[in-house]
Each structure stands twice: as C-alpha cells, then as structure tokens.
Amino acid sequence: MIKQVFVVHGFNGRPEGGWRPWLKIELEKKGFVVHLLKMPSPRLPSMNAWIKEIQKNIQTPNENTFLVGHSLGCIAILRYLESLKGKQKVGGAILVAGLATNLGNPLFSSFFRASIDWKKIQSHCNKFVSINSDNDRFVTIAHGKAFEKNLGARLIIKKGMGHFSGDEGCFKLPVVLEEILKLAKK
C-alpha cells in the first residue's frame, strides 16, 4: 500500500516555504506520496477551517498515512486526530516546534478553546515525535515535553535551529526525513 505524508505549515506559513519542498523531494525519492497542504487564511487561522482542509486532503486515513506539522500546524494535526471516528488510525505524526498552548496569542485561540483530549488523540495515532530547538524564540522545549508526557512522543532537541523556519535559513531538515522513515518501517 502507498505511504502518504501530509505536511501542514504553521501560522503565516505556506506549503512552499522553508524545508517543506526539500522534504517532499526527498520523500518522493523514497516512494512516498507527499502532500504539502495550503492552509486557509494562514495569517488569521481558524481551527475549524484548518481541520476541514486536512480532512478534505486526507479523506480516508490509515496506517500508511503520516502527518508532519510545523508550529501551529502541529496543533491543527492534533485537533484533526481528535476529529477522527471509531477505529480510524494514522501511522504516525511528527510535530516540529509544535504548540501545546496558544502562547498568549489571540489569533491562535480557536485552536485552544477546548482542552486537548490526549487520550482520544492517542486512540487514532500512537507514534509521535516532537522536534524542538534549544533556541526557539516562540516555542520553548516545554511544549515538546508536554507532547512527550501526554502523547508518549519521542522528544528530539536540536541545537541552534530557532523556529525551524525559512526566515531563519532552515531549508533542509534531515531529522524529519529520518523520523518519517523510522515511523514508516514500524
């Protein structure tokens, strides 16, 4: 069965920004089908609109479906997983500089109105990797530790990578490629 990867950018992001195009090319070389999702209104994000966009693109999730999020895209992925029904499962999720709280930003409030249902998320995905940087000016390592504690995520801390954004010169992110390949083998 074909392995698919769906990549969700963050706040004010775009599919072709930063390391996402590089990741798509590298994964396609390995036989994956990769979808770089374009989230609606990235400067004024709405949880419901972002979840609908993910649902529209994934359609029928299964164990060969892998999710990669960056920043606000990570909580969008977690809220998507909460929306799944019955025994629907995905193969794994990688959360790069993911938010576990709204960082005090009112633009992110729709994603955090309700508490996160960690158990429901785990019922639809039980393989998580959280990748954080020791010098991210937006998302501290505490967020990665929250994913580690509540989702059993494997926490990877990179040195000096900032927020893993193209604005900071991050155009390749080999750790994400390596982790997807590991998740897809299990």
Catalytic residue among 9, 124, 143, 163: 163
Question: 125-128: long-range contacts (C-beta < 8 A, 24 or more apart)?
Answer: 125/67, 125/81, 125/89, 125/90, 125/91, 125/92, 125/93, 126/89, 126/152, 127/91, 127/92, 127/93, 127/183, 127/186, 128/92, 128/93, 128/94, 128/95, 128/152, 128/153, 128/154
The token duo for 22 is 């590089």
Is 167 known to be catalytic?
A: no
CA distance 177 to 12: 23
Question: Which residue bears the tokens 């709280």?
Answer: 101
Helix (H) or strand (E) holding 163: none
Is 136 known to be catalytic?
A: yes
Estimate to the nearest angstrom the gap between the alpha carbon of 112 and the chain centroid: 16
- CA of 49: how far to CAs of 41, 140, 153, in Å? 9, 26, 26
Catalytic residue among 70, 71, 124, 165: 71
35: β partners: 6
Catalytic residue among 124, 130, 136, 165: 136
CA distance 34 to 44: 25
| Residues assigned a catalytic role | 71, 136, 163
